[in-house]
Structure 1
Amino acid sequence: MNPIQEYFYRIDEPARSILLFLRKKILESDPENITETLSFGLPFFKFKKKMLCYLYYSKKHQKHYISFYHGDQLNHPLLISEGRKKFKILLFDENEDLPLELILSLTKEVKQYIK
């Protein structure tokens, strides 16, 4: 297993399946330009080798989240900055439906700021 796969397999179910599904959908959304790396021990997604978003777990909120680079440019009521300058996070609950369409639309919007 590579380090990125190891990261996901250390997470308990059902969160692991949700994160793996999200990972797959993000990578499939633009397979020629979106890549993944492990940076700071976290799975990062990059668009044309520039930071796009990453996945992590918030101890404060007890939920997993996706953090968007250029989040300061994004305006959506579910996004939280919590003092971050360039990032905003979107928390998601493993017991609720994943807001996949919202996540993919936000990644698409962030890509516009990268170009």
Structure 2
Amino acid sequence: MNPIQEYFYRIKEPERSTLLFLRKKILESDTENITETLSFGLPFFKFKKKMLCYLYYSKKHQKHYVSFYHGDRLEHPELIQEGRKKFKILLIDMEEDLPVELILRLIDDVKQYIRA
């Protein structure tokens, strides 16, 4: 098992399945340009080798989240900055439907700010 797979398999169900589904959707959204790496012990998604977003868990909010690079340039009411300079996060409520379309739209927005 590679380190990225190990990261996900340390997460308990049903969160693991939800995050693996989200991971798959992100990677499939642009198979030519989006890649996945493990940075700082977290699964990072990169667009043309530049930071795009990553997945993590907020102890403060007790929820997993997607953190978007260039989030400081994104405007959406569900995004939270909380003192971060370049990132904003989108909390994932495991009790509700996963906002896949919103996440993919935000990823597309971030791509516009990445100089390739």
The Cα of 1:93 is off from its aligned counterpart by 1.0
User: 2:98 is paired with a residue of what secondary structure?
Assistant: coil
- Size of the aligned set, in residue pairs, is 115
The Cα of 1:81 is off from its aligned counterpart by 0.2
After TM superposition, the score normalised by the length of structure 2 is 0.98
Partner of 1:89 in structure 2?
89
The Cα of 1:65 is off from its aligned counterpart by 0.1
Partner of 1:79 in structure 2?
79
Segments of structure 1 that go 5 or more residues without pairing to the other structure are none
User: 2:19 is paired with a residue of what secondary structure?
Assistant: helix
Pairing 1:60-75 to 2, within 5 Å after superposition: 60-75=60-75
Segments of structure 2 that go 5 or more residues without pairing to the other structure are none
Q: Which amino acid aligns with 2:19?
A: L
The Cα of 1:21 is off from its aligned counterpart by 0.2
Q: Which amino acid aligns with 2:73?
A: Q
Residue 21 (structure 2) pairs with residue 29 (structure 1): no
Pairing 1:1-115 to 2, within 5 Å after superposition: 1-115=1-115
Whole-Å separation in 1 of the counterparts to 2:2 and 2:92: 26
- 1:48-102 superposed Cα distances (whole Å, 9 cap, x missing partner): 0000000000000000000000000000000000000000000011111111000
Aligned residues with identical type, % of pairs: 84
Q: Which amino acid aligns with 2:109?
A: E
Cα RMSD after superposing both structures: 0.4
Whole-Å separation in 1 of the counterparts to 2:94 and 2:7: 17
After TM superposition, the score normalised by the length of structure 1 is 0.99
Q: Which amino acid aligns with 1:10?
A: R
Q: Which amino acid aligns with 1:19?
A: L
